Amino acid sequence: GLQRHFPVLGGPLGITRVGAVRAVDGVDLTVMRGETLGLVGESGCGKSTLGRLLIRLLDPTAGSIHLEGRDLSSAAGAELRALRRRFQMIFQDPFGSLNPRMTVDELVTEPLRLAGAPRAQRRARALELLAMVGLSAEHARRYAHQFSGGQRQRIGIARALALEPALIVCDEPVSALDVSIQAQVVNLLRDIQRDHGLTYLFVSHDLRVVRHIADRVAVMYLGRIVELADKRSLYAAPAHPYTRALLAAAPVLDPGRERRKSPPRGEIPSAMHPPPGCAFHPRCPMAAARCREERPLLRAVGARMVACHFADADGQLSGQ
């Protein structure tokens, strides 16, 4: 209900940059306190960019970002640093940017050190944090390179928890791990969330992983949200043709029947220069003349939000 409303991102939010950073255009998204909002789409759709915008690792060129009623968009200096401590990020490769000469206890409590916490307090907190992710005191004085990929991701999670963040953006946190380890790490994230009332934005290209952890799912295509629904209805009856194509392309979970289906047909156009009308029309099996000219807005269709001219309240496509 409204009590749980946690308006982190108010829109429409935009970013347009040439070069490595892709466009995010007019996204309006609210993350509820205590939920996991899954954000899915193909590589290059802007989902990582959106995650970084949300926690002000990138600056929006338009729109606003709110946390508990405070506008973060204009925060700068000490205020921005304080706000950033309330947001953490878990990366695909947790140690890509971390100091290999730091021991695990130093790594997980570095955010506390930067915030001015004394050494004795950090030592004690390191053991608490490691216990939260299933590691023990004997791991504390070792170096990250001595650990497996799954253990390193546990260390990355412990570090993200150090400052008791309001929101954690998990950006493909299990994509680099073996499938057998992925479930362990996803379950750990879920348990920690339940025990500590955390809020996640879970960014992934992998619909199977998102299905295990998300409460709601936002599907992104070329810098825009095209469908937003609770998990159950999204997986049971995807309304947007792009969501349908993504689900149809996802490999079957049953390992005995595992087979890769083909991804949505056609090349992915650039988010910097999306096609006119509905950006999905060159790849959409249901595209009609109207789709090439008129851009569908994200609108309420039953209990979900869909950006397709032909979505109706039964989750069906009609009017063609």
Residues within the interface to ligand SF4 (CB under 6 A): 240-241, 278, 280-281, 284, 286-287, 291, 296, 308-310
- Is residue 181 within 8 A of residue 151, CB to CB? The reply is no
- Is residue 135 within 8 A of residue 142, CB to CB? The reply is no
Residue 251 Cβ, how far from ligand SF4 at the closest point, in Å? 24
Decide whether 134 or 282 has the Cβ nearer to ligand SF4.
282
Q: How far apart are CA 87 and CA 110, in angstroms?
A: 15
Comparing C-alpha atoms, which of 221, 304, 190, 245 is closest to residue 44?
A: 221
Residue 310 Cβ, how far from ligand SF4 at the closest point, in Å? 5
CA within 13 Å, CB half, 248:
12
Decide whether 56 or 281 has the Cβ nearer to ligand SF4.
281
Q: How far apart are CA 222 and CA 271, in angstroms?
A: 5
Helical H segments across 86-197, by residue range: 104-114, 119-132, 149-161, 179-196
* Amino acid, single-letter form, for residue 118: P
Residue 204 Cβ, how far from ligand SF4 at the closest point, in Å? 22
Residue 54 Cβ, how far from ligand SF4 at the closest point, in Å? 25
Tell me which long-range contacts 95-103 makes (C-beta under 8 A, separation of at least 24).
95/144, 95/145, 95/152, 95/155, 95/156, 98/144, 100/143, 100/144, 100/145, 101/143, 102/143, 102/144, 103/140, 103/141, 103/142, 103/143
310 binds, among ligand SF4, Mg ion, none (CB under 5 to 8 A by kind): ligand SF4
CA max distance for the chain? 68
State yes or no: residue 92 binds Mg ion (CB under 5 A): no
Residue 229 Cβ, how far from ligand SF4 at the closest point, in Å? 15
State in Å, rounded, how far the first CA of the chain is from the last one: 36
- Considering only residues 224 to 253 of the shown chain, the ones binding Mg ion according to CB under 5 A are none
- Is residue 247 within 8 A of residue 263, CB to CB? The reply is no
Q: How far apart are CA 65 and CA 77, in angstroms?
A: 17
Decide whether 44 or 275 has the Cβ nearer to ligand SF4.
275
Residue 206 Cβ, how far from ligand SF4 at the closest point, in Å? 22
Residue of this chain nearest to Mg ion (CB atom): 48
287 binds, among Mg ion, ligand SF4, none (CB under 5 to 8 A by kind): ligand SF4
Decide whether 48 or 153 has the Cβ nearer to Mg ion.
48
State yes or no: residue 153 binds Mg ion (CB under 5 A): no
Candidates 25, 40, 46, 48; binder of Mg ion (CB under 5 A) is 48
6 binds, among ligand SF4, Mg ion, none (CB under 5 to 8 A by kind): none
48 binds, among Mg ion, ligand SF4, none (CB under 5 to 8 A by kind): Mg ion
Decide whether 41 or 296 has the Cβ nearer to Mg ion.
41
The footprint of Mg ion (CB under 5 A) covers 48
